[in-house]
Amino acid sequence: MSATRPIAALFAVLSGMALIGFVDNFVVVIAEEAGLWQFHLMRSLIALPLIFVLSMMGMGSLRPLSLWAVSIRSFFVAGSMILYFGTLAFLPIAQVAAGLFTSPIFVLLISALVLRMQVGPVRLFAALVGFAGVLMVLRPDAGGVGPANVVPVAAGLLYAIGAIVTRRWCAAESTASMLTGFFLALGIFGALGAALLALFPQVAEPGAAGFVLRSWAPATQTFLFWTVVQALGSIVAVGLLIKGYQWADASYVAVFEYSLLIWVALWAFVLRGETVDRIALFGIALIILSGAFIAMRSRDAAEALPVQ
């Protein structure tokens, strides 16, 4: 391991994951006030000037080395976040995070089946263990898996594709350029969604249930406050994770990213009294063990970070 400050990296990653777990628990509050597309557009408009300032402070150039590569990466990662945030209004956050963290498993499978890379049977077994854990989280009782439960796994798949693109085509890109591309893509998705709903209004249910189909709504103080918190929290958390990768080996750092699954469940319990039953907890443990094993054995799996 080429670690230089492993303890500092550990605390940086754990702090970043704790912050993401905290702010994401308030998406359901945002969903009560406005729509998914308005949220992403407004968050991008807040985040992009902040990234510009950070670029001026030395975080790297905003201009990508390869515009098409960063654009493709941004499309898939932003699409993943659209699905992720969209389901936070409907499902327990532990379920949504568990679905998203199937991304390193998908990275492994895509590498083996599509890119024809050598993947040993041990890592394939670890992937199967991870999928078993996902099923335990999505089906903690006999209620079965509905369409909404599968969406976070689809988010994990899109993020995995974005991770592979990052690894193969964007390795030399600056953090600022990739963050800019990501938030620009989210802003474009938000603007397109808001425009479509303005042209073809849908009947949105009251409260969080209408998050995805809600047209543009007057921006309340609650919505603006938590959207600003989301933008600031995301940038700070990503900054901490970047420092973690600078201070320690990527395969070492990637293991601790899985603490997000613990943080989101802990914050959900503290903030809203939301609990996770024993079967789901066991499933989360399997996902963490599977992903950590894959991360330690495969450098590609180190791209499993859900950029917020």
DSSP for 125-166 reads HHHHHHHHHHHHHH-SSTT---HHHHHHHHHHHHHHHHHHHH
Cβ neighbour number for residue 115 with a 10 Å cutoff: 12
Q: How much is the average pLDDT of 122-151?
A: 73
Determine, yes or no, domain membership for 39. Answer: yes
Per residue in 101-115, pLDDT (tens digit) is 888 778 778 877 787
Residue 182 has pLDDT above 80, yes or no: yes
Specify the long-range contacts of residues 112-117, CB closer than 8 Å, at least 24 apart. Answer: 115/164
What pLDDT score does 305 carry? 43
Q: With pLDDT > 70 as the criterion, what percentage of the chain qualifies? A: 87
- CA 60 to chain centroid: 22
123 to 42, 107, 132, 191: CA distances (angstroms): 41, 11, 14, 41
Q: Does residue 189 contact residue 40 with C-beta atoms inside 8 Å? A: yes
Determine, yes or no, domain membership for 63. Answer: yes
More confident residue, 144 or 103: 103
Q: Does residue 171 contact residue 303 with C-beta atoms inside 8 Å? A: no
Rounded Cα–Cα distance for residues 203 and 243 (Å): 45
Kindly give the interhelix angle for 103-113 and 278-297, rounded to the nearest 10 degrees: 50
Given pLDDT bands bounded at 50, 70 and 90, which one contains residue 285? confident
Determine, yes or no, domain membership for 229. Answer: yes
Q: How many domains in the chain?
A: 1
Q: With pLDDT > 90 as the criterion, what percentage of the chain qualifies? A: 35
Q: How much is the average pLDDT of 11-31?
A: 90
What pLDDT score does 139 carry? 65
Rounded Cα–Cα distance for residues 87 and 92 (Å): 9
Q: And the tokens for 157?
A: 């798949």
Q: And the tokens for 151?
A: 């969406």
Q: Does residue 272 contact residue 33 with C-beta atoms inside 8 Å? A: no
Q: How much is the average pLDDT of 15-30?
A: 91
Rounded Cα–Cα distance for residues 160 and 149 (Å): 18
Range(s) of the domain holding residue 61: 6-303
Determine, yes or no, domain membership for 248. Answer: yes
Determine, yes or no, domain membership for 279. Answer: yes
Global pTM reads 0.84
Given pLDDT bands bounded at 50, 70 and 90, which one contains residue 34? very high
Determine, yes or no, domain membership for 308. Answer: no
Q: How much is the average pLDDT of 151-180?
A: 86
**How far from each other are the two terminal CA atoms of the chain, in whole angstroms?**
27
Per residue in 43-95, pLDDT (tens digit) is 999 999 999 998 888 778 899 999 999 999 999 999 999 999 999 888 888 88
Q: Does residue 237 contact residue 19 with C-beta atoms inside 8 Å? A: yes
Residue 30 has pLDDT above 60, yes or no: yes
Q: How much is the average pLDDT of 148-167?
A: 86
Rounded Cα–Cα distance for residues 133 and 99 (Å): 10
Rounded Cα–Cα distance for residues 167 and 58 (Å): 23
Per residue in 165-179, pLDDT (tens digit) is 887 888 788 878 888
Determine, yes or no, domain membership for 250. Answer: yes
Determine, yes or no, domain membership for 110. Answer: yes
